[in-house]
Chain A
């Protein structure tokens, strides 16, 4: 099954294919398939690869030209993601800013903010961290306690953020903070852009279960940012945050899931080597793994086709994350089982191979971007119209 968008897009696709064939070589080619939204492996190489992409003007394909993008449409963006995934290029180190902050600014930022912040994202000059979660506010994001107060021309911010992906690389943070001290829940929150290069910001890496420093906690004590670096309205931060989460739960999963197909193929290869295809129980699970990655792809295609046709995507756009994250974990378990005892041995300094890393990191997919339980609430309430969970 292939997407075909006609001759104009085919030219774009061919140009991209050629460019990737020419540039995805040497060290970059050695790092094919490396990384993911929670995987900091080969960071420096991937950053260099992002700069290579930037030099080729391939970042921000759908962003307006005035901010450094290509000014093309949704179709080209989607084609880019598919071709990129097909080439198995390294997962973009700057994905956070490209996939979340950028679209958030494009949707809700002021003209000055777009001019100031978008070009450096595309030039891979400034890296960003997402400061939503707190020790006391994860799934229940409306209980954010980090405070920000206006002091003349600046916001002064105090609080703690946690689980920030690639936080220790961030030059800037976008922080959801409470700007009205008397406010409750989702009222009185504001989205602030905060530079990390200042004494009030203390970023400490947190080691994840794979042994990597991939996320971080951030202590904000008297951190300062300019009064005009509010995205959306003062007090309207909830709406801004939800816009971002809508983006996170939607398109960013698309290329990732195409990578799972590769894992499924590798799994079948491994099973063949091990003679496991003759075991009826394993065989069944292997086929189910193949079936689920194929279903993920078709589900993506449905959503993409609807987006391109200008239709509101159906329920599958909401169920896709729950399905994909759950099935990907099963695939990881199966791969580890097929690897057998040898799969339990790691390299020096807890060095993990692709399979081990992919398995361990898949455990995050049912947590970040809204846990599976929260996804089920969203599906139940927003898609099926069931009564809401009790809320304070």
Chain B
């Protein structure tokens, strides 16, 4: 395990950053945020075919490049920085991970190549009206014939997913199912979200035929590992978002003049920016700690690091995004300024995989506190 970035990783960051600067600039983010579909399919395809981003950490046997989680974390950090409007988190951090971790080799061979090629947008449908991310929150049921009935909601990018990985309850426990978007009895509704840069949907299943993945009733451990991985990747995304929010604040503090001086020369502002950076660097440690643990493959350490990363990075991003608005003053409170886009992404990410309080409890459980 290497605790510092290699030159190749620096290069990966550079390439991804340049790509996103071109294809996910503020204009693109605003356009896609305002669009109910919210995906530029050309860019999505190019992410897969030119940069191989969807399949970066997917093993080569499924068409991916087999890189590690530190590499993938770099991409998420950059995606967060650019507020990328694409189902990247849903497809890569949730759906692909769930497939990789379920005990169903056939399903992996069938479904992962579509994800790596960019042909498939996928997501994980886990949460329901209760908004819970734990095992007991799952109420949607599957009958003996693997037909699903019930409602999933707050499903990230569920409005445009081609493939749903659905957590459902069967007689023997929690099981994982794969459902194509055009399956009979499946209806989905886009939910109007506070954060328009990451969309959510309500998905209803009425006697919908589904493909059981792996052994019935044994999916929870795999899902728990999936959520831990996604927690770390989300943390990396949050770090990137926070870093961008600080960057705009600092640029502004350098040029905005009040009392005859740039506001950044006043300690009230300078020190706030310094605190923001300290928060971000600490969040970065939290997220990187998770990425290292993932690459080291130690499940207990990953679970600890993942809960820690979500508890810390969620709050750090929200804090920094709010402080960025403060540094911008009145202009930061306008719709036209990008500062609110970061605040809203921070707020939605804070609860995307469970609240910071929930993750503290996961951490406590792992530490035996």
Contact = CB atoms under 8 A, between A and B. Distances in A.
Given A4-B1, A295-B282, A376-B267, A385 B254 contact: yes
B281 A315 contact: yes
B124 interface: no
B262 interface: yes
A349 B237 CA distance: 54
B267 A377 contact: yes
A290 B312 CA distance: 11
A319 B281 contact: yes
A209 interface: no
A74 B277 CA distance: 28
A381 B270 contact: yes
A294 B275 CA distance: 19
A286 interface: yes
B271 A373 contact: yes
Interface residues of B, dominant DSSP: helix
Given A287-B311, A291-B312, A309-B4, A298 B270 contact: no
Contact of A302 (B1, B269, B271, B288): B288
Contacts of A316: 281-282, 284-285
A376 to B, nearest CB: 4
B301 interface: yes
Interface stretch (B138-146, B341-349, B360-368): B360-368
Interface string A300-319: 01101110110100111001
B369 A291 contact: no
A380 interface: yes
A375 interface: yes
B69 interface: no
Nearest to B298: A1
A389 interface: yes
Interface string B1-23: 11110000000000000000000
A384 B273 contact: yes
B271 A283 contact: no
A283 B308 contact: no
A389 B265 contact: yes
A284 interface: yes
Contacts of B264: 380, 386-387
B270 A299 contact: no
A298 B360 CA distance: 18
Most chain A CB neighbours (cut-off 10 Å) among B253, B265, B270: B270
Given A287-B360, A302-B3, A380-B273, A322 B278 contact: yes
B275 to A, nearest CB: 7
A179 to B, nearest CB: 32
A8 interface: no
A291 B274 contact: no
B79 interface: no
B308 A384 contact: no
A384 B265 CA distance: 12
Contact of B282 (A1, A299, A308, A314): A299
Contact of A376 (B254, B274, B288): B274
Contact of B4 (A287, A306, A379): A306
Interface string A76-112: 0000000000000000000000000000000000000
A329 to B, nearest CB: 14
Contact of B267 (A1, A277, A314, A373): A373
Contact of A383 (B2, B277, B363): B277
Nearest to B6: A309
Nearest to A386: B264
A379 B277 contact: yes
A323 interface: yes
A311 B2 CA distance: 14
A268 interface: yes
B325 interface: no
A375 B289 CA distance: 25
Given A298-B286, A315-B281, A305 B2 contact: yes
B265 A388 contact: yes
Interface in B253-305: 253-254, 261-262, 264-265, 267, 269-271, 273-275, 277-278, 281-282, 284-286, 288-289, 292-293, 301
Nearest to A381: B270
Interface string B79-94: 0000000000000000
Interface string B169-202: 0000000000000000000000000000000000
Interface of A: 1, 3-4, 268, 272, 277, 283-284, 286-288, 290-292, 294-295, 298-299, 301-302, 304-306, 308-309, 311, 314-316, 319-320, 322-323, 373, 375-377, 379-381, 383-390
Interface of B: 1-4, 246, 250, 253-254, 261-262, 264-265, 267, 269-271, 273-275, 277-278, 281-282, 284-286, 288-289, 292-293, 301, 308, 311-312, 357, 360, 363-364, 367, 369
Q: Which 7 A-B pairs have the closest CB atoms?
A: A305-B3, A386-B264, A380-B270, A379-B274, A298-B285, A376-B274, A305-B4
8 contacts: A283-B364, A290-B367, A295-B289, A298-B288, A379-B278, A384-B277, A387-B264, A387-B265
